[in-house]
Structures are given as C-alpha cells and as structure tokens.
Amino acid sequence: MAQADISIKPTELQGGHGHPDKWKWYDYFTFNVDHKVIGIQYLVTSFLFYLVGGFMAVLMRTELATPNSDFLSPELYNAFLTNHGTIMIFLWIVPAAIGGFGNFLIPLMIGARDMAFPKLNAIAFWLNPPAGAVLAASFFLGGGAQSGWTSYPPLSEITANLPQTLWCVALIMVGTSSILGSVNFLVTIWKMRVPSMAWDQMPLFCWAMVATSVLALFATPVLAAAMVLLLFDINFGTSFFKPDAGGNVVVYQHLFWFYSHPAVYLMILPIFGIMSEVIPVHARKPIFGYKAIAYSSLTICLVGLFVWVHHMFTSGTAPWMRIFFTISTLIVAVPTGIKIFSWVATLWGGKIRYTTAMLFAVGLLSMFVFGGLSGVTLGAAPFDIHVHDTYYVVGHFHYVLYGGSVFGIYSGIYHWFPKITGRMLNEPLGKVHFVLTFIGTILTFTPMHNLGMQGMPRRVAMYDPQFAHLNQLVTVGAYILAVSVIPFYFNVIWSWMKGKEAGPNPWNAMTMEWTTDSPPIIENWEVLPVLTHGPYAYGMERSDEVGPAGEPLPASRS
C-alpha cells in the first residue's frame, strides 16, 4: 500500500510562522494543526473540566451528608447533578480518552507524520471549549439545565427552557466534534501506517480506536437528532415528544440510549486500549492473546449497538423484548471477560514493575471486575426493575466510570507523560495519588450499592434519615477523592517544568512512539521509521524477529 501523501508541513499551514522543530507555549492556544498539539489541547482542557465536574460532585455530596436539604436549594442541586454528569462524560472522559490520547498517540504509533485531515482535527477540538462555555452560560441564564444528563421529556420540556436549550446546543457541539474526530482516526489508521506495518502488527490501542470510531460514527448522529428534536419541541412548538399533541416520550428514550449505551463503550474502549499498552510494558511480557484482544474490541462495538433497551426495562418494554435485551446485554460480558483474562495472563509470571502507571492499571482491573459484575446483575431485567433509579445504579456506573475510565486515564498519563513532555512524573507522589484514589473510590462508591438495595432513590437532594450513616461514609470518600487530585495536579505542573529528563524511551517499550524524541519533534521523525519487531516483543531473544504476540514476524507486507 502506498503511503498517503502528507508532505504539507505544519509550518506552511501555520502561515509561515517558521517554527524550527519545537512549538512555543503560545502555539498551544492557537488553531494549531499538529496532532500532538491538539492532543495536548484536548488533555489539558478535559483535565480542567474534570475539576469543574468534580467540584460539582463535592457540592452534591456535601448536600447529601445530611438527610435534609440544608446546603443547596433543590433547583441548584438538580443543576449540579445535570451538569456534573454532562461535564464528566462529554467534556472529561470522551475528550481526554479519545481526543487526547487518540490524537497524540495514533500517528506516532503507526509511524505517520500527522493525522489524515489536520485542519478537521483542529476544528474538532475547537468545538469543545465553546461547548463548555455554553454550559456555563446556561447557569447564568436561568440556573442551568435541571433534568439530568439524560434530559428525558416531559421533564426537560417543562423545566426552564433557555438553559435546557443551551444544554442541547452544547451536546450537539460535542457530538459534532466526536464525529469529525472519528472520521479522522479511521482514515489515518487505514491509510497512513508505515508501509511495513500490517493490520496485525498495529499496537492494540489503535485497534481500540478503530472500534471506538466506528461506534461513534453509528451512534453519535442519533444523539444529535434527539437533541435537535428536543430543541424544536422546546422552542418551535413541535410535538415530537409531547403525548398530549400526538408525540411519544419513549421515542426520546430510544434515541437517547441508542447513543448513550454505546457511549459507555466509547469511553471504555480507548481505556482498554491504554491497558493493552501499559500492562505488557510494565510486566515485561508479550501481550497474551493479541488477536483475541483486537477482535473482542470489534465484538464489543457490534454487540454494544444492540443492548440499549436495558436502560428502558421500566418504560413499558414488552416482555419478549426484555428477554432479548437481557441476553444481548449479558453477551457483552464475554468479549470484556476475554480482555480481562488476556491482561491477567499477561501479568502472570511477568517481571512486574510497580510503577504508578502499572498500579493504576492493576487497580483498574480490580475495579472493573466489580463494576462489570454489578453491570451483569443490572443487565438481568428482573433485578434491574427492582433497583431501577436507586443508588445501586449510581454505585455501578461510578465503579465503571471512576474505577474504569478515570483509573485508565491516570494510568495512561503516568505512562505517556515522559513522551508528551520529555520529563518524568515524580513516582512517590504518584503513589500517594494512587493510594488516595484507590481508597477514595472504594469508600465513595461501594456503600451506594447498599443504599440502592435498601431503596434510596437517585437524583434527590433529600432522603429518609435511615440512610444517613451510609451517606456520611460516601461523603467522606468523596472528600478523599477530592484531596487525591491535589498531589496529581501538583505533580503534573511541577514535573512538566522541573521533572527529570525522560529521554526517548524511559520504560524500554517497543511500540513506535518510543522511537522518536521526547517530546517528539514537529512531524514526528526526521526519517520515517521501519518496523523491525512487533509492538510487544518483550523478554524474547532476538526480539527483532518476533511479532505482536511473540511469534515470528511475517515478511513485510509491501
């Protein structure tokens, strides 16, 4: 296959600024088309939004420390609830995991100089900060959207209209961003690998991004459609979701969950990709089951599109449909289990280095097994009907989102920070961060399951006093999580300026991004690299002759 022509120099696209081989700090605040700059822009903004969303969580938990509504007004509680969920999903995990890691790593991992469509890439990023500004504006123009991150009608059509409209606009913007980004990832991975790299010699992170992008392309337009229809109902007198005028509220739920169920895989597949890179490097072993991991990403992507109704078991879903969607939901556990099995088998007998990146990866495994199991319980319609809209659900999805996505993003940051910045993060501080996060996550989200089983409803600012003790425990956990980010943000800022120089390959890793300078020069390489060994050929004699999972490398494909 011919190498796609990417000979346009970023310097030319910048209007002849004439940068030699390094960007200046102010370049990061401009419409820059270098994939590495865009990756860093995504990461830094998403980490800022993470603080905002986290701050809202802390305010909510402070309110919930006591049964009465004595800290926030109920309206304000609803607004924080809605925007916490929205920000955490759409402005934190998705942009960090997909936009940040995807943009920074993909071209480097496949030996390309940039993404296929650099300008489109920059546009995709620059839709995000305005979306955040629109959400912020919704707070000042009418107190913020209040109907939850799902914004089901009729509630969303009878609460304050202006903030709800702004909320829809913000989601359309981030949705558009994610569609543009996905097209770019797919074309880049398809067309721009170094000529010597066959599909099955690609790092698993790239496979994960293929699955993620396909999923985003199928699902996101449906979300955008739901947002447009909702916006029309609220502002222009249509009645798509107004039962008294011939509309149907359940249609909204179908549209919303047709996107938002797959969205959980959008968030977790890139993280799985990060796991598949971090674990072999720090366990010094070839990944176990390369193909099984690659194909299970695609299977998750496919099956994930057929399970959305498990969010609607209580919305009058016909019994036969409940059976179908229970079964399809439980089937997703199989490819996920295959991945977990492969990572554990990779760890087995490895020379494990307990770096912070590795600690977060192993922490993720334990959290994800727990969150995955509670997910399986919820996938079964009878149990789901019992605990629907209780704190059991809140406990489950935070185990997956905090214990899965957040741990994975942290693990990736500790692993690739040296590549991104050229400096090492401080390891002892990283371990403090890990311990606080691990304890905080367990303390915050485990008791929620008990609360839910006992019947505490979600999305309330006030609750029955019998739930007070467990709620205090949860709030203490949330404060620990709030404190846990301090060593991390401090570490990042301090190490970025003063950390130990990293050199090109501090972990002795074998994927291609580690063959260039840290941070990589503009356009990534002086001379494009040639593939000499698979991405995970650790601990093998003559590792230059083995493929991804340790087998001999087939003759180059060109």
Helix (H) or strand (E) holding 222: helix 204-235
Alpha helices in 390-549 (DSSP H): 391-400, 407-421, 427-453, 468-498
Name 427's Cβ contacts closer than 8 Å, sequence gap at least 6: 355, 356
Binding footprint of ligand HEM on the chain (CB under 6 A): 54, 57, 60-61, 81-82, 84-85, 88-89, 92-93, 148-149, 394, 398, 401-402, 405-406, 444, 458-459, 478, 481
Partner in contact with 81, chosen from Cu ion, ligand HEM, none, beta carbon below 5 to 8 Å by kind: ligand HEM
Partner in contact with 125, chosen from Cu ion, ligand HEM, none, beta carbon below 5 to 8 Å by kind: none
Partner in contact with 401, chosen from ligand HEM, Cu ion, none, beta carbon below 5 to 8 Å by kind: ligand HEM
Q: How far apart are CA 410 and CA 492, in angstroms?
A: 11
Residue with tokens 């992507």: 301
Residue among 148 and 195 whose Cβ is closer to ligand HEM: 148
Q: How far is the CB of 267 from ligand HEM (least distance, A)?
A: 7
Whose CB is nearest to ligand HEM?
A: 85
Q: How far is the CB of 44 from ligand HEM (least distance, A)?
A: 17
- Residue type for position 357: A
- Residue type for position 141: L
Tokens of 158: 């009878």
- Do 496 and 463 touch, CB atoms closer than 8 A? no
Partner in contact with 478, chosen from ligand HEM, Cu ion, none, beta carbon below 5 to 8 Å by kind: ligand HEM
Tokens of 217: 């392309």
Q: How far is the CB of 285 from ligand HEM (least distance, A)?
A: 31
Residue among 43 and 60 whose Cβ is closer to ligand HEM: 60
Q: How far apart are CA 530 and CA 100, in angstroms?
A: 26
Partner in contact with 533, chosen from ligand HEM, Cu ion, none, beta carbon below 5 to 8 Å by kind: none
Residue among 261 and 285 whose Cβ is closer to Cu ion: 261
**Residues near Cu ion (CB under 5 A), total:** 1
Q: How far is the CB of 165 from ligand HEM (least distance, A)?
A: 18
Q: How far apart are CA 395 and CA 344, in angstroms?
A: 25
Q: What Cα–Cα distance (Å) separates residue 325 from each residue in 41, 316, 369?
A: 39, 14, 21
448-461 exposure pattern, b = at least 16 Cβ within 10 A, e = fewer: bbbbbeeebebebb
3-state secondary structure of 524: strand
Q: How far is the CB of 368 from Cu ion (least distance, A)?
A: 15
Partner in contact with 108, chosen from Cu ion, ligand HEM, none, beta carbon below 5 to 8 Å by kind: none
Q: How far apart are CA 445 and CA 197, in angstroms?
A: 43
Q: How far is the CB of 389 from ligand HEM (least distance, A)?
A: 8
For 312, which DSSP code? G
Tokens of 50: 């993470």
Cα-Cα end-to-end distance for the chain: 6
Residue among 47 and 313 whose Cβ is closer to Cu ion: 313
Residue among 214 and 436 whose Cβ is closer to Cu ion: 214
Partner in contact with 402, chosen from ligand HEM, Cu ion, none, beta carbon below 5 to 8 Å by kind: ligand HEM
Partner in contact with 441, chosen from ligand HEM, Cu ion, none, beta carbon below 5 to 8 Å by kind: none
Q: How far apart are CA 234 and CA 49, in angstroms?
A: 28
Q: How far apart are CA 406 and CA 92, in angstroms?
A: 9
Q: How far is the CB of 340 from ligand HEM (least distance, A)?
A: 20
Partner in contact with 261, chosen from ligand HEM, Cu ion, none, beta carbon below 5 to 8 Å by kind: Cu ion
Give, as ranges, the residues between 256 and 285 that touch Cu ion (CB under 5 A).
Answer: 261
Residue among 301 and 502 whose Cβ is closer to Cu ion: 301
Q: What Cα–Cα distance (Å) separates residue 7 from each residue in 13, 28, 107, 125, 381?
A: 11, 22, 14, 23, 55
Give, as ranges, the residues between 169 and 228 that touch Cu ion (CB under 5 A).
Answer: none
Residue among 54 and 519 whose Cβ is closer to ligand HEM: 54
388 scored as a contact of Cu ion (CB under 5 A): no
Residue among 82 and 103 whose Cβ is closer to ligand HEM: 82
Tokens of 235: 């502002």
- Residue type for position 250: V
Q: How far is the CB of 397 from ligand HEM (least distance, A)?
A: 6
Residue among 387 and 394 whose Cβ is closer to ligand HEM: 394
Name 355's Cβ contacts closer than 8 Å, sequence gap at least 6: 282, 414, 427, 430, 507
- Residue type for position 445: F
Q: How far is the CB of 311 from Cu ion (least distance, A)?
A: 5
Q: What Cα–Cα distance (Å) separates residue 396 from each residue in 113, 152, 465?
A: 41, 21, 23
3-state secondary structure of 457: strand
Q: How far is the CB of 177 from ligand HEM (least distance, A)?
A: 17
Q: How far is the CB of 227 from ligand HEM (least distance, A)?
A: 15
Whose CB is nearest to Cu ion?
A: 261
- Do 279 and 314 touch, CB atoms closer than 8 A? no
Q: Which candidate, 215, 232, 231, 222, places its Cα nearest to that of 253?
A: 222
Residue among 80 and 538 whose Cβ is closer to ligand HEM: 80
Residue among 220 and 405 whose Cβ is closer to ligand HEM: 405
Q: How far is the CB of 307 from Cu ion (least distance, A)?
A: 6
Residue among 289 and 477 whose Cβ is closer to ligand HEM: 477
Partner in contact with 394, chosen from Cu ion, ligand HEM, none, beta carbon below 5 to 8 Å by kind: ligand HEM
The residues of the shown chain that bind Cu ion, judged by CB under 5 A, are: 261
